[in-house]
């Protein structure tokens, strides 16, 4: 079964601390994974995708096929990073996304 | 960047009435649009996929006669919740996609059925 799991509902850190938002997936084929972010009162927007292997706003995520994980990391959290983060898996070539439950990141001053 | 406009952002209706939600791609042609539903403190669940000019494909467990989706043009898709009931109260989100491009999400519609 295709599934995305984000084990933490809430992650609270202090400004400047490292952040890791966990994401594990279950998929039989070659996965395409994404991280989406939703800031307060804003729409869901793409943060990064594993294909691009890029760093956006200091965040990176590496696909680990052995561990079936796609954890999102940032070495030094900022208050403006406080938001809801969703890990998502693209199902085949249909464009359909399967979302994890989401993790609220709270960065305290 | 590409923008998807979803309207209304919030609607309250009485049980038994129908509600239409619009999703427009403002500066790109969305060949495919997706409709999601999100219950409080839960993840987004895909309801259906619609391609311009064809019938929508519904996910298992989603009643196609209750959630009518129309995608008549490359810039507009609508979701009509027919004969709404309180259990239909939820947050509905659309997203649009041009060919081989990332998804762009609307702001969502908070539906409350009284």
- Residue-level pLDDT, tens digit, chain A, 109 residues: 889 999 999 999 999 999 999 999 998 888 889 999 999 888 889 999 887 777 889 999 989 999 999 999 999 999 999 999 999 998 777 778 899 999 999 999 9
Question: What is the pLDDT, as a whole number, of residue B103?
Answer: 84
Closest CA to B92 of B77, B72, B68, B108: B108
Which residues does residue A11 pair with via DSSP β-bridges, in sequence order?
A105
pLDDT tier at B5, thresholds 50, 70, 90: very high
Token look-up 């952040």 returns A19
Do B49 and A96 count as a contact with CB atoms less than 8 A apart? yes
Peptide bond before residue B8 is cis, with ω within 30 degrees of 0 = yes
Of B41, B49, B106, the CB nearest to A94: B49
pLDDT tier at B1, thresholds 50, 70, 90: low
Tokens standing for B90?
């939820």
How many CA within 13 A on the CB side of residue B28?
19
Question: What is the pLDDT, as a whole number, of residue B86?
Answer: 95
Question: What is the pLDDT, as a whole number, of residue A54?
Answer: 79
Do B105 and A49 count as a contact with CB atoms less than 8 A apart? no
Question: What is the pLDDT, as a whole number, of residue A91?
Answer: 79
Residues from B contacting A (CB-CB < 8 Å) are 4, 32, 34, 36, 41-46, 49, 93, 95, 97, 102-103, 105-108
Tell me which H or E stretch contains B37.
strand B32-38
Q: What is the mean pLDDT of residues B26-33?
A: 89
- Which residue in chain A is spatially nearest to B36 when comparing CA positions? A97
> Do strands A60-61 and A72-74 pair parallel, antiparallel, or not at all (unpaired)?
antiparallel
Contacts of A102 in chain B (CB under 8 A): 43
Give, in order, the Cα–Cα distances in Å from B81 to each of A7, B6, B36, B76, B108.
Answer: 32, 15, 13, 17, 15
Token look-up 């239409």 returns B20
Do A101 and B43 count as a contact with CB atoms less than 8 A apart? yes
Round to whole Å and give the CA distance between B62 and A1: 19
Q: Number of helices and strands (H, E) in chain B?
A: 0, 11
Do A95 and B49 count as a contact with CB atoms less than 8 A apart? yes
The set of residues, in sequence order, having a beta carbon less than 8 Å from that of A6 and lying 6+ positions away, is: A21, A22, A23, A85, A86, A87, A100, A101, A102, A103
In tens, the pLDDT along B81-110 reads 999 999 999 999 999 988 767 788 999 999
Round to whole Å and give the CA distance between A44 and A97: 13
Do B105 and A44 count as a contact with CB atoms less than 8 A apart? yes
Question: What is the pLDDT, as a whole number, of residue B64?
Answer: 92
Round to whole Å and give the CA distance between A7 and B94: 26
């Amino acid at each position: 079964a295709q599934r995305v799991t984000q084990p933490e509902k809430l992650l609270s850190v202090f400004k400047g601390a490292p952040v890791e938002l966990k994401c594990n997936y279950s998929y039989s084929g070659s996965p395409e994974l994404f991280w989406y972010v939703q800031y307060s009162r804003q729409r869901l927007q793409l943060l990064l995708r594993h294909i691009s292997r890029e760093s956006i706003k200091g965040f990176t995520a590496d696909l680990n096929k052995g561990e079936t994980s796609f954890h999102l990391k940032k070495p030094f959290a900022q208050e403006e990073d406080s938001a809801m983060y969703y890990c998502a898996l693209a199902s085949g070539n249909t464009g359909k996304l399967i979302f994890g439950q989401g993790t609220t990141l709270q960065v305290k001053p | 960047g590409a923008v998807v406009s979803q309207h209304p952002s919030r609607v309250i209706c009485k049980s038994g009435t129908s509600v239409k939600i619009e999703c427009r791609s403002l500066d790109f042609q969305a060949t495919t649009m997706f409709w999601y539903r999100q219950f409080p403190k839960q993840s987004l669940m895909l309801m259906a996929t619609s391609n311009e000019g064809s019938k929508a494909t519904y996910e298992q467990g989603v009643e196609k006669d209750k959630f009518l989706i129309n995608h008549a043009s490359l810039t507009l898709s609508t979701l009509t919740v027919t004969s709404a009931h309180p259990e239909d109260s939820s947050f509905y989100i659309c997203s649009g996609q041009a060919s081989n491009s990332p998804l762009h999400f609307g702001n969502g519609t908070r539906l409350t059925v009284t």
